[in-house]
Structure 1
Amino acid sequence: MSRRLSILKQPILSVVNDHLIDYPTPSNLSYWWSFGSLAGICLVLQIATGVFLAMHYTPHVDLAFLSVEHIMRDVTGGWLLRYMHANGASMFFIVVYFHIFRGLYYGSYASPRELVWCVGVVILLLMIITAFIGYVLPWGQMSFWGATVITSLASAIPVVGDTIVTWLWGGFSVDNATLNRFYSLHYLLPFIIAAASIVHIAALHQYGSNNPLGVNSSVDKIPFYPYYYTKDLVGWVAFALFFSIFIFYAPNVLGHPDNYIPANPMSTPAHIVPEWYFLPVYAILRSIPNKLGGVAAIAFVFLSLFALPFINTSYVRSSNFRPIHKKLFWVLAADCLILGWIGCQPVEPPYVLIGQIATVVFFLYFALVPFLGILENRLITHQATSSAQVA
């Protein structure tokens, strides 16, 4: 016992013990809370595979595509590294999207966990930037034209737009300077995401995890290890099996076949689409006929998420006890799926109109959040008053 106490006095071991072993955790957490640790595993996998891929990748427009093929064909285990990294990005976003929607459903953004949610939104934005510039690195057709289309959006910003585009390109077109900049940033940003994740965890552990009931569970907590370590382990194994199916049996199903064609500035693909995890935001961008309006809509998506803890007015966190919000939540979830479907469709009727309606529904959710909270609070007060009168 004394030996254990002396070990725990060591600074690093003490931090590990306080946050991963003896960390007090609500006793009623479900498997939905396992997606947080899964996101951490995905981040570690992406950094590890990315470092090894960087040893063989050449950031030059004449050699980038060939270096990726060299990794796939000539490097021992290179195909596995490449498929783990490429599909790992999709797995990372799947896990994080489930993590976000769990937070929305159970009100994990509500006071006093505003900082946890806001840092999480920053991490999501950093992930999107990192994934986008990483998608450019193979220098295939979709990489080149995706970079051209998305970076050109900055030109819609008044006064400084053209300067920003020139800076992003490193010249007057998407070329070798662009590829070098994106390669450098793609290597750097994951470590910034890791640092932000540490801040995210520290902010979470300040007040403790939320729980399915959304109530204060400070008197009903158990150590994280071995209880939730074992529970999370089940989720890790299930995730590993799901991930392995894509790596070994369908490694290219989540990508675009045009990206196996070397980049050609003289040949525009028939239909330019981003990776699947960008499609909902891409659909919102396309639904606005004005370029500046589309850029503003994308910014407003993240501002809405960032503002959610501050516009929330409900006394109750969990949607299990908010029947109106529960219905609104599932409308939002279905709407995001529709936006994802619209994002991969051509820009023509009726997809344009459906995308515009789905965009309105998406922003309507955030507009209704404060009013819905006020309505639910009044209903709760009315029910409490009626119960008191009956008693």
Structure 2
Amino acid sequence: MRIFKTHPILKLVNSYVVDAPTPSNISYLWNFGSLLAFCFFIQIITGLFLAIHYNPSVLEAFNSVEHIMRDVNNGWLIRYLHSNTASAFFFLVYLYMGRGLYYGSYRSPRTLVWVLGTVIFFFFIVTAFLGYVLPYGQMSLWGATVITNLMSAIPWIGQDIVEFLWGGFSVNNATLNRFFALHFLLPFVLAAMALMHLIVLHDNVGSGNPLGVSGNYDRLPFAPYFLFKDLITIFIFIFILSVFVFFMPNALGDSENYVMANPMQTPPAIVPEWYLLPFYAILRSIPNKLLGVIAMFSAILVILAMPFTDLSRSRGIQFRPLSKIAFYIFVANFLFFLILGAKHVESPFIEFGQISTVLYFSYYLIIVPFISLLENSLIELSIFNRKA
């Protein structure tokens, strides 16, 4: 229809979801973007309905969540969709970032896309943490207390920052009001940032492909080919999400958070949601509080180093066996962090955490550049031997 090519807004939509030139050889690993957009849409819609009934008060927050679950028509469905889709979102984000690391999506000319994606990832973590506090169960209260107290490690102004976040001298009504307001607002800011991410990708460079070469020579319009390809994974995702929502909605949650917050009783173990465990494990592995906080935030920011530390002459590691081995070790180490983050702070888990932390940062700053240079040398040697 002509209107899709002439109307100012519809023309933009058409250029991204209908006529967008897409490399013909992209695999299902390139479907994570549409799945994340679908998750984000679910989160915003369910979050709006939950906000209607939620009461950000230390006396009523827990009861308002129970009211949603028991008294609001289909409230249990909305709440379980919101909580389980958050877990699904981070699962897909980690797959999405892993795919980017594997296929070199951070390399020029997509460096700006990578930087924007990292910033978005950081703000998604902040948004998820704020949302985890709102039900005001035991783990919500003590998780908020522990994480916000980390700011006190900042010299001179740390305690002032903590009291500003709390709005007082402990987690109270002011804290919940601030967290609720930010948790409601940030998704719309993130939506704008995600749109920027999409615009920079499609208007400047376009999607990459599994071969790591230019896809300009063989492209197809996004619809109907890749649109239906995305729909396949979206339908599979809906089925898997439905299994969690209807049959095991609390499988990924902590039982302590189904007990009303009690500031006089500390839970046996204070742990965040599973998708934040790797960064929590890094924090706990360093005895010094300030260094632990720096390491935890650096674990996210170090991702930005990849465009500069990957010195390989080829994009991605699909044809680089040594880099593949290092990447799979890195993935195994990240999964190990998920286990360590849920363990008590005791030996030998502290030592394991320290070793894993060194390996994590070494991958970005030492292993990747070293293996890149080594593989470049081996390729040059192979070419020289062939010529000889």
What TM-score, normalized to structure 1?
A: 0.97
2:77 to 62, 77, 80: 80
Instruction: Please give the per-residue CA displacement for 1:176-198, whole angstroms capped at 9, x wherever unaligned.
Output: 11011000000011111111100
Which residue of structure 1 aligns with residue 141 of structure 2? 144
**What code does the residue aligned with 1:147 have?**
A
Report the equivalent of 1:203.
Answer: 200
Q: Provide the residue aligned with 1:311 in structure 2.
A: 309
- Write out per-residue CA displacement over residues 274-317 of structure 1, whole angstroms, 9 at most, x where no aligned residue: 00000000000000001001001012112210221122211111
AA at the equivalent of 2:375 = E
Q: Which residue of 1 aligns with 2:270?
A: 272
Alignment of 1:116-265 (within 5 A): 116-205=113-202, 206-265=204-263
For the Cα contact (< 8 Å) 2:311–2:372, is it kept in 1?
yes
Between the aligned partners of 1:233 and 1:382, the Cα distance in structure 2 is 46
Query: Counterparts of 1:388 and 1:221 in 2: how far apart (Å)?
Result: 35
Report the alpha carbon displacement of residue 385 of structure 1 after superposing the two structures with TM.
2.6
1:353 paired to 2:331 = no
SS of residue matched to 1:25: strand
- 1:46 matched to which residue of 2? 43
1:35 pairs with one of 13, 32, 35: 32
Q: Distance in 2 between matches of 1:90 and 1:129?
A: 14
Q: CA RMSD in A?
A: 1.0
Question: TM-score scaled by structure 2?
Answer: 0.98
User: Where does residue 373 of structure 1 map in the other structure?
Assistant: 372
Q: CA deviation at 1:246?
A: 0.5
- Secondary structure of the 1:210 match is coil
**Structure 2 CA distance, aligned partners of 1:169 and 1:207?**
43
Unaligned runs of 5+ in 1: none
User: 1:68-91: per-residue Cα shift (whole Å, max 9, x none)?
Assistant: 000000000100000000111101
Q: Identity across aligned pairs (percent)?
A: 54
2:17 alignment counterpart = 20
2:92 and 2:133 map into 1 onto residues whose CA distance is: 23
Distance 1:228 1:7, change over 3 A: closer
Give me the whole-angstrom Cα distance separating, in 2, the residues matched to 1:315 and 1:14. 38
Match of 2:294 in 1: 296
Residue 374 of structure 1: CA displacement? Answer: 1.9
SS, match of residue 147 in structure 1: helix
Question: Aligned partners of 1:316, 1:259: CA distance in 2, in Å?
Answer: 48
For the residues of structure 2 that align with 1:340 and 1:273, how far apart are their CA atoms? 11
* C-alpha spacing 1:322/1:171, structure 2 compared with 1 (3 Å): same
Deviations 1:163-208 (A, max 9, x none): 1111111111111110110000000111111111001111111201
- CA distance in structure 2 between the partners assigned to 1:6 and 1:233 by the alignment: 25
Give the Cα–Cα distance (whole angstroms) in 2 for the partners of residues 250 and 226 of structure 1: 35
- When structure 1 is superposed on structure 2, of 154-163 and 308-317 the one drifting more is 308-317
Q: How many Å apart are 1:7 and its aligned residue?
A: 4.0
Name the residue aligned to 2:284: 286
Distance 1:263 1:6 in 2: 55
Q: Deviations over 1:227-259 (max 9, x none)?
A: 111111111011111111110000001000011
How far off is 1:8 after superposition?
0.8
Q: Is residue 387 of structure 2 the alignment partner of residue 388 of structure 1? A: yes
Q: Partners of 1:358 and 1:101 in 2: how far apart?
A: 18
Shift of 1:370: 2.0
Cα 1:6/1:255, change in 2 over 3 Å: closer
Counterpart of 1:378, as a letter, is S
1:37, distance to aligned residue in structure 2 (A): 0.6
> SS at the partner of 2:22?
strand
Instruction: Tell me the amino acid that sits aligned with residue 282 of structure 2.
Output: I
**Matched residue, 1:115:** 112
Q: Is the 8 A contact 2:136 2:257 kept in 1?
A: yes
Deviation at 1:325? 0.8
Does the Cα contact within 8 Å between 2:320 and 2:375 map onto a contact in 1? yes
1:383 CA drift (Å): 2.0
Separation in 2 of the partners of 1:6 and 1:60? Answer: 49
**How much does 1:6 deviate?**
5.0
C-alpha distance in structure 2 between counterparts of 1:226 and 1:152, whole Å: 51
Give, in angstroms, the shift of residue 372 of structure 1. 2.1
Distance 2:37 2:302 in 1: 25
Counterpart secondary structure, 2:223: helix
The separation in 1 between residues aligned to 2:3 and 2:52, in whole angstroms, is 42
CA distance in 2, matches of 1:244, 1:93: 17
Q: How many residues align?
A: 386
**Contact 2:113–2:200 under 8 Å retained in 1:** yes
Offset at residue 5 of structure 1 (A): 3.6
Which position in structure 2 is the counterpart of 1:362? Answer: 360
Distance 2:383 2:44 in 1: 52
Q: Is the alpha carbon distance of 1:387 and 1:5 closer, same or farther for their aligned partners in structure 2, counting shifts above 3 Å?
A: farther
Which one is further off, 330-339 or 295-304? 295-304
> What letter matches 2:193 in structure 1?
A
Matches of 1:359 and 1:268, distance apart in 2? 28
Distance verdict in 2 for CA 1:59–1:371, change over 3 Å: same
Give the SS at the match of 1:320: coil
- Alpha-carbon distance in structure 2 between the residues aligned to 1:6 and 1:341: 53
